[in-house]
Amino acid sequence: MDGTAFVAELEAFQAERLAPITAAGELSLANDAGDPEALLKVALANEVSVSELAALWIATTKELDVKLALAKQAGDEARHFETVALRLAKLGFDAAAFSPPPDNALFAYLKTLPSTVERVAAGLFTLEAIAYGVNERFMALCAARGDHETVRIYREYIQPDEQAHQRLGGRLLAKYATTPELQAVARTTVTKVLEIAGAARAQAAARLGTACVPGC
């Protein structure tokens, strides 16, 4: 099938596989658990990890439009880090003392991806879709606690970028995943990212007491 039709099909597939991850956050809303500062520290780790990942891929990606997309993603995620850090500072946490944790299984996997189609499918297309979905549940948790400033920050600054990254990933996949072989690679990559992310988020939920954990 052509690239546009493939991406439409892949988005439906992705949404189906993403549903259990976002549903876990929905169930957690009833429990109102998890420490707000700890959850925002997870956001810090995610933002810096995605920024680093995108920057890592730039030099070894041949296609200029994909290079520029990764550069934009790296810059946007770095700005998200700064935005969350400022919010944490107002809550009494010094982000200068923050030390990013070692790569979890998801980022260790992402850093091994060698091809443009894999990188776009994993990073821009799927990772950002996960982030947008789980951030909606995190925002709902913040709203339920009366933390409307964090909700505003996510609604006005972070979520629009995450959605733009995911849509850009879809356009790039439509352009470059144009053969049955490349489309199979993209589908396999999306599946793998969702599987690893689901397991990682389940572990984080058990540790933090809520599945409403923010994404990148």
| Contact criterion met (CB below 8 Å) for 139 and 156 | no
Q: What is the pLDDT of residue 30?
A: 67
For the chain, domain boundaries = 3-208
| DSSP secondary structure, 161-203, as one string | HHHHHHHHHHHHHHHH--SHHHHHHHHHHHHHHHHHHHHHHHH
pLDDT at 11: 97
CATH 1.20.910.10 applies to domain 3-208: yes
Q: What is the pTM of this model?
A: 0.94
Checking if the pLDDT of 32 tops 70, the result is: no
From residue 21, how far is each of 15, 95, 99, 195, 214 by CA, in Å? Answer: 10, 28, 27, 10, 12
pLDDT, tens digit, for every residue of 155-207? 999 999 999 999 999 999 999 999 999 999 999 999 999 999 999 999 988 88
